[in-house]
Amino acid sequence: MEKKRGSFTNKLGFVLAAAGSAVGLGNLWRFPYLAAKHGGGIFLLVYLIIAVTFGFALMITEIALGRKTRLSAIGAYDALDKRFKFMGYLSSAVPFIITPYYCVIGGWVLKYLVVFLTNNVSSAAADGYFENYIAQPAAPVIFFLIYVLIGCVVVMLGVEGGIEKASRIMMPVLVIISIVVSVFSIMQPGAWEGVKYYLLPDFSRFSATTVLAAMGQLFYSMSLAMGIMITYGSYMKKENHLEQSVRQIEIFDTGIAFMAGLMIIPAVFAFSGGSEEALGKGPGLMFVTLPKVFENMKFGTVIGAVFFLLVLFAALTSSISLTETLVSIVRDRLGWGRKKASAVILVFLCVVGIPVSLGFGIWDFIAPMGMSLLDFCDFVSNSVMMPIVAIISCLFVGFVIKPKAIIDEVEVNGPFKMKKFYTIIIKYIAPVCLVAILIFAIMEAMGMITV
Ligand code: TRP
């Protein structure tokens, strides 16, 4: 296994690959709707604080674990301490919950691309279009299936190389389009209120839920607490600067999420007023608001089509690497070939994804804890499992293998500037805060307290 392990050619290659995995629907779709729902500026502030503290510490930890052991999650935990092998399994279970619903949203994006390509912008911009669409029994399922199939075919053929090249071109284009669209959004009459809502924190909106939402989003967006970064780390060369790379990945990922919020939130104010209802739309926010922006924009149809193409692309690169993760877990555990494992994963994605899609329409009676199936999967993975994985991995590093093990790995590339800060966070601050927030949030979800 040792000698077959490839590695990224250089540091930029590593940063781009990790950022390519990190940037996806999490940044473009999930971040803006959470920010809108959880008070705008206060959410942004909390997110930024957690990103430079917990996010930084956890990403360093995961990448260093991978680079140190040269193994992916299950093997890495096992190699360091037999008793923690379960952590490998627990973190590997997370992408099994995320991928199916990720592909359902991928299908929505594909549908919107088709709508823009066929020049139906005004219908997509009409009130209620999105809600009616996702409640249909057939169309969303068909788009989901097409989306899943594209991803699985790529994984089966193993053409990720070409995708990586394409992302080097498409990611910068995405950044430019986001800037154009956000400038346009901000210039709409009434949008300025939205800019203020997004940038100025309102401390009265602060609560444990804000922190939990921000934390779940951080894990999701940076692909943390699910073993992915351990795998990426295992491909990283010893001479690449670990601390610096982590900082760059974080800046890139957070920057794109920030821009997505700037595109969408001011537009919510301009086109739907800044009402609680408009801001609290949830998963549909991007699909409801952006068509209204494009409808009012000169060349909006073209720009909208290009925009959804890029979102589709960012989503595909992420879901392909998610699917690839599932396939490689199945292959490693069961010793199956690539084709067989991909086919089984394809079936799995359909079996879970189709009910998730139907959960917005004919199967909406399936509502665990009062949530739609999609929200429920999202809640279980992002608000429950990922914090648990994060807590245990902090304790594992803090008290079992000791922070020094990670610090030594980082210091292969020279002094670890933030090592005191890192040690305090990983040993004390992160575990205590994570436990408190998790308990609070679960109590809230079960209706035991209201915030
Ligand atoms: N971080 C990705 C996003 O923001 C989603 C994601 C989570 C992911 N886990 C992953 C992508 C694993 C690739 C691999 O959309």
What spacing in Å lies between the alpha carbon of 27 and ligand 1's midpoint? 9
Question: SS3 letters for 343-412?
Answer: HHHHHHHHHHHHHHHHCCCCCCCCCHHHCCHHHHHHHHHHHHHHHHHHHHHHHHHHHHCCHHHHHHHHHH
What spacing in Å lies between the alpha carbon of 247 and ligand 1's midpoint? 18
Question: Going from the N-terminus, what domains does the chain have, and what CATH number goes with each?
Answer: 11-445 (1.10.4160)
What pLDDT, on a 0 to 100 scale, did the predictor assign at position 160? Answer: 64
Cβ–ligand 1 contact at 267 (below 6 Å): no
What spacing in Å lies between the alpha carbon of 427 and ligand 1's midpoint? 26
Instruction: Render each residue's pLDDT in the chain as its tens digit; 451 residues.
Output: 344 456 666 667 777 777 777 889 999 999 999 999 999 999 999 999 999 999 999 999 999 999 999 988 888 999 999 999 999 999 999 999 999 999 999 999 999 999 999 988 999 999 999 999 999 999 999 999 999 999 888 888 876 666 667 777 777 888 888 898 899 889 999 999 999 999 999 999 998 888 888 998 999 999 899 888 898 888 888 988 999 999 999 998 999 999 999 999 999 999 888 888 899 988 999 999 999 989 988 888 998 998 899 899 889 888 888 888 898 888 888 889 888 999 999 999 999 999 999 999 999 998 888 889 999 999 899 888 999 999 999 999 999 999 999 999 999 998 998 999 999 999 999 999 889 888 887 787 777 766 5
Residue with the smallest CA separation from ligand 1 atom 14 is 322
What spacing in Å lies between the alpha carbon of 319 and ligand 1's midpoint? 7
Give the relative orientation of helices 191-199 and 41-50 as an angle to the nearest 10 degrees. Answer: 40
Q: For residue 76, give the DSSP letter.
A: H
What spacing in Å lies between the alpha carbon of 374 and ligand 1's midpoint? 16
Query: How buried is residue 204: exposed, middle or buried, by Cβ count under 10 Å (0-12/13-18/19+)?
Result: exposed
What pLDDT, on a 0 to 100 scale, did the predictor assign at position 376? Answer: 93
Neighbours of 203 (CB within 10 A): 9
CA distances from 143 to 91, 104, 134, 285, 409 (A): 29, 8, 11, 19, 45
In degrees and rounded to multiples of 5, residue 130 shows phi and psi of -65, -45
25, 154, 217, 220, best to mutate for ligand 1 pocket (most atoms within 8 Å of CB): 220
Cβ–ligand 1 contact at 234 (below 6 Å): no
Cβ–ligand 1 contact at 27 (below 6 Å): yes
The answer to whether the beta carbons of residues 300 and 121 sit under 8 Å apart is yes
What spacing in Å lies between the alpha carbon of 37 and ligand 1's midpoint? 21
In degrees and rounded to multiples of 5, residue 386 shows phi and psi of -65, -45
What pLDDT, on a 0 to 100 scale, did the predictor assign at position 2? Answer: 40
223, 224, 324, best to mutate for ligand 1 pocket (most atoms within 8 Å of CB): 223
pTM of the model: 0.90
Cβ–ligand 1 contact at 319 (below 6 Å): no
For residues 50 and 138, give the distance between their C-alpha atoms in angstroms, rounded to a whole number. Answer: 41
Question: b vs e for 139-148, b when ≥16 Cβ sit within 10 Å of the residue's Cβ?
Answer: ebbebbbebb
Q: For residue 224, give the DSSP letter.
A: -
Alpha-carbon torsion (392, 396, 398, 404), positive or negative: negative
Residue with the smallest CA separation from ligand 1 atom 11 is 318
The answer to whether the beta carbons of residues 144 and 353 sit under 8 Å apart is yes
Phi-psi region of 237 (alpha: psi -120 to 50; beta: other; left: phi over 0): beta
Neighbours of 119 (CB within 10 A): 11
Which strand (E) or helix (H) includes residue 307? helix 300-334
Cβ–ligand 1 contact at 322 (below 6 Å): yes
Query: How buried is residue 219: exposed, middle or buried, by Cβ count under 10 Å (0-12/13-18/19+)?
Result: buried
What spacing in Å lies between the alpha carbon of 415 and ligand 1's midpoint? 30
Q: What is the DSSP string of 137-186?
A: SSHHHHHHHHHHHHHHHHHHHT-HHHHHHHHHHHHHHHHHHHHHHHHHHH
Specify the ligand 1 atom closest to the Cα of 25.
15
Specify the ligand 1 atom closest to the Cα of 24.
15
What spacing in Å lies between the alpha carbon of 315 and ligand 1's midpoint? 9
For residues 213 and 282, give the distance between their C-alpha atoms in angstroms, rounded to a whole number. Answer: 12
Specify the ligand 1 atom closest to the Cα of 27.
4
What spacing in Å lies between the alpha carbon of 190 and ligand 1's midpoint? 34
What pLDDT, on a 0 to 100 scale, did the predictor assign at position 193? Answer: 95
For residues 299 and 184, give the distance between their C-alpha atoms in angstroms, rounded to a whole number. Answer: 12
What spacing in Å lies between the alpha carbon of 412 and ligand 1's midpoint? 28
Three-state DSSP class for residue 270: helix
What pLDDT, on a 0 to 100 scale, did the predictor assign at position 212? Answer: 85
Cβ–ligand 1 contact at 390 (below 6 Å): no
What spacing in Å lies between the alpha carbon of 22 and ligand 1's midpoint? 5
Three-state DSSP class for residue 319: helix
For residues 349 and 231, give the distance between their C-alpha atoms in angstroms, rounded to a whole number. Answer: 22
Cβ–ligand 1 contact at 24 (below 6 Å): yes
Cβ–ligand 1 contact at 221 (below 6 Å): yes
Specify the ligand 1 atom closest to the Cα of 95.
9
What spacing in Å lies between the alpha carbon of 40 and ligand 1's midpoint? 23
